[in-house]
Amino acid sequence: MTAMYIWIAECPFIDQGLVRPLVTRSGILVLMCDSCGTVWCSPEELETEKYAQPTAPDWSTLCGVDVSPGTTRWADDQDIELTGWPGVAWKKT
């Protein structure tokens, strides 16, 4: 079975990562690069300098949620349908 990646854009940093929707423990969706771990709070912020690079011990973001290892998972189709941002053209590969 081929893994499916849901993503919105290539990472703006030169790391060949994909920016993907991530479900946090609170159920809030954030966007995270699967390579460098940078977190954006919404698709609009991808175009801005508003991002966080969460690190131990608090793994905090600018979104009011943390992304501590083991508490998050990549979003699936149902997640982005139910809690994603309206009107986003998600890419799937």
According to DSSP, residue 42 is labeled: S
For Zn ion, give the closer residue by CB, 27 or 34: 34
15 binds Zn ion (CB under 5 A): yes
Residue 21 is encoded by which pair of tokens? 């929707």
Residue 6 is encoded by which pair of tokens? 């849901």
The residue within the footprint of Zn ion, chosen from 6, 8, 11, 39 (CB under 5 A), is 11
Examine residue 57 and say whether the peptide bond preceding it is cis (omega within 30 degrees of 0).
yes
For Zn ion, give the closer residue by CB, 50 or 81: 50
CA–CA distance, 36 with 53 (Å, rounded to integer): 8
Site string for Zn ion, 29-68 (x = CB under 5 A): ----x-xx--------------------------------
Q: List CB contacts of 64: < 8 A, sequence separation 6 or more.
A: 28
12 binds Zn ion (CB under 5 A): no
* Binding residues for Zn ion, total number by CB under 5 A: 7
Could you identify the residue written with the tokens 């290539």? 10
Q: Which parts of this chain interact with Zn ion (CB under 5 A)?
A: 11, 13, 15, 17, 33, 35-36
